[in-house]
């Protein structure tokens, strides 16, 4: 008993720790203080927030990741961000928006040569197309994912899931031979891996194909195999589903008495206070069985019960659709607010860019003007310096000419002086002549 208390305490403690971690994360996201996102907990964080229907916080978290990694297309974490965003839209039933994110993720995964990521994305894209009832595109995605897995990844679990998905598509398109082929491939993998519940589901799918082909004995055989496995490894709901399927075979064979015995076993395993599709199907089969037996009062009773459960489910679905629309509107509001903020940021960036361009233009003009003035001053300096050199040369030339002229005059004067008698000699000579007289 003490061990049980310890075990329960540990579970409670773990759940409380998870709750505290999520609350702390939500506060960080809302405050915009969450910085380091480069870890593989991204999908777990998204899943945790989606489980709490906290779509607003989940959207903020994904947007914060986008802002950080949109500018890093070569980062290994970038395609994971788009993949997580696709999961978010898938969970909120926005399959087209999910496809937009997954397509970007797939492109980056292929550029980075990461086949496992690409295979995972293609599988989810196939799921989106399946819910959009675009079965051709779903089949294309599943086949491409299967081809990548078989050639590069070689993971049998991935192959078995894809075989099963492809088989479902062929069954919906009523190509039962191809559906049986792919269900058989999935079954072989499940048998090899000894996955009993998956083998049971494969038997169930195989039996459904046989039933549609009118091979009721084979269908009953595979439904029986599925029931035995579900009785060992499945839940009460799984076992009830097997009995219901076996009852359906006998209804097809027009044997309402045997069908009734299987339906009674099926009903005892269901919680009749829980109105769901399983209970609705059982009540419908009871109605068809009693109607086939011409037991009108019982047929009418189960018809009313069937319609009551069906109406409750429809009301719940409509409520869910309304909630889903409200969630979509909230997400759209958040997206619009983010878009408006982005537009405002772009406007501010544009104004800053224009201002920067003006400043750059003024700076360039100033530099060009300064360069022009400097060129003019330099040219003026060169001309002035050249003129000074010319003047200096001319001055030197004049001085040389003047010196040459002076030298010539002095030379002529010396010659003249050498040829002419001096005045004193003439005067002395004249005095001598006068004295003689």
258 — pLDDT class (breaks 50, 70, 90): very high
For residue 359, what pLDDT is reported?
81
Residue scoring higher pLDDT (375 or 101) = 101
Give the side-chain half-sphere CA count within 13 A for 325.
Answer: 5
**Domains in the chain: boundaries:** 32-130, 155-234, 235-313
- 18 Cβ partners below 8 Å, 6+ apart? 48
Which of 173-177, 183-187, 221-225, 357-361 shows the lowest mean pLDDT across its residues? 357-361
For residue 158, what pLDDT is reported?
93
For residue 404, what pLDDT is reported?
75
For 147-175, what is the mean pLDDT? Answer: 92
Q: How is domain 155-234 classified at the architecture level of CATH?
A: Alpha Horseshoe (1.25)
353 — pLDDT class (breaks 50, 70, 90): confident
Alpha carbons 195 and 126: distance in angstroms, whole number:
24
Q: Which of 305, 217, 208 is nearest to 255 (CA)?
A: 217
CATH class of 235-313: mainly alpha
Alpha carbons 295 and 329: distance in angstroms, whole number:
50
For the chain, the first-to-last Cα distance in angstroms comes to 184
For 332-341, what is the mean pLDDT? Answer: 62
201-256 confidence digits (pLDDT tens): 888 888 888 888 889 998 999 999 999 998 988 899 899 999 999 999 999 999 99
Alpha carbons 330 and 335: distance in angstroms, whole number:
8
392-418 confidence digits (pLDDT tens): 777 777 777 777 777 777 777 777 666
6-51 confidence digits (pLDDT tens): 333 333 444 455 455 555 554 554 454 444 444 356 667 777 776 6
Contact 149, 162 (CB under 8 A): yes
Residue scoring higher pLDDT (122 or 57) = 122
Average pLDDT, the chain: 80
**pLDDT over 80 (residue 166):** yes
Alpha carbons 102 and 135: distance in angstroms, whole number:
18
Alpha carbons 66 and 79: distance in angstroms, whole number:
10
For 283-292, what is the mean pLDDT? Answer: 94
Q: Per mean pLDDT, which of 36-45, 256-265, 310-319 is the most reliable?
A: 256-265
Q: Which two tokens stand for residue 42?
A: 């991204």
341 — pLDDT class (breaks 50, 70, 90): low
**pLDDT over 50 (residue 285):** yes
Residue scoring higher pLDDT (10 or 107) = 107
CATH number for the 32-130 domain, one of 1.25.40.10, 3.40.50.1100, 3.40.50.300, 1.20.950.20?
1.25.40.10
For residue 217, what pLDDT is reported?
92
145-158 confidence digits (pLDDT tens): 999 999 999 999 99
Q: Where are the alpha helices (DSSP H) in 32-94?
A: 42-51, 55-69, 78-91
For 353-380, what is the mean pLDDT? Answer: 81
Q: Per mean pLDDT, which of 67-76, 285-294, 320-329 is the most reliable?
A: 285-294
Alpha carbons 428 and 437: distance in angstroms, whole number:
15
Contact 207, 187 (CB under 8 A): no
Domains 32-130 and 235-313 share a fold: yes
Residue scoring higher pLDDT (106 or 89) = 106
């Amino acid at each position: 008993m003490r061990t049980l208390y310890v075990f329960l305490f540990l579970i409670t403690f773990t759940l409380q720790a998870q709750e505290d971690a999520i609350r702390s994360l939500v506060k960080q996201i809302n405050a915009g203080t969450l910085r380091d996102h480069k870890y593989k907990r991204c999908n777990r964080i998204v899943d945790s927030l989606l489980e709490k229907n906290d779509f607003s916080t989940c959207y903020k978290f994904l947007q914060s990741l986008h802002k950080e990694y949109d500018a890093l297309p070569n980062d290994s974490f970038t395609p994971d961000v788009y993949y997580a965003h696709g999961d978010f839209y898938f969970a909120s039933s926005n399959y087209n928006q999910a496809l937009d994110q997954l397509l970007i993720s797939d492109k980056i995964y292929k550029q980075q040569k990461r086949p496992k990521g690409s295979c995972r994305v293609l599988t989810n894209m196939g799921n989106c197309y399946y819910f959009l009832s675009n079965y051709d595109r779903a089949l294309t995605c599943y086949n491409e994912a299967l081809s990548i897995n078989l050639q590069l990844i070689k993971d049998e679990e991935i192959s078995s899931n894809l075989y099963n998905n492809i088989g479902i598509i062929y069954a919906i398109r009523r190509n039962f031979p191809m559906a049986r082929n792919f269900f058989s491939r999935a079954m072989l993998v499940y048998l090899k891996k000894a996955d009993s519940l998956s083998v049971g589901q494969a038997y169930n799918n195989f039996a459904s194909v046989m039933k549609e082909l009118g091979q009721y004995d084979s269908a009953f055989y595979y439904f029986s195999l599925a029931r035995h496995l579900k009785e060992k490894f499945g839940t009460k709901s799984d076992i009830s589903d097997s009995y219901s399927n076996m009852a359906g075979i006998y209804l097809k064979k027009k044997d309402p008495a045997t069908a009734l015995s299987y339906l009674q076993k099926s009903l005892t395993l269901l919680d009749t206070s829980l109105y769901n599709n399983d209970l609705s199907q059982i009540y419908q089969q009871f109605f068809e069985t009693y109607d086939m037996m011409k037991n009108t009062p019982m047929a009418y009773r189960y018809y009313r019960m069937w319609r009551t459960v069906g109406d409750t489910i429809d009301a719940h679905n409509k409520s869910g659709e309304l909630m889903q629309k409200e969630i979509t509107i909230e997400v759209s509001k958040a997206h619009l607010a983010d878009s408006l903020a982005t537009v405002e940021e772009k406007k501010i960036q544009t104004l800053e860019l224009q201002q920067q361009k003006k400043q750059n233009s003024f700076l360039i003009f100033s530099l060009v003007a300064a360069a022009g003035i400097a060129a003019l001053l330099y040219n003026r300096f060169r001309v002035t310096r050249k003129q000074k050199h010319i003047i200096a040369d001319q001055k030197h030339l004049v001085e040389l000419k003047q010196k040459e002229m002076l030298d010539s005059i002095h030379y002529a004067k010396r010659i003249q002086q050498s040829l002419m008698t001096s005045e004193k000699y003439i005067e002395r000579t004249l005095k001598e002549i006068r004295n003689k007289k």
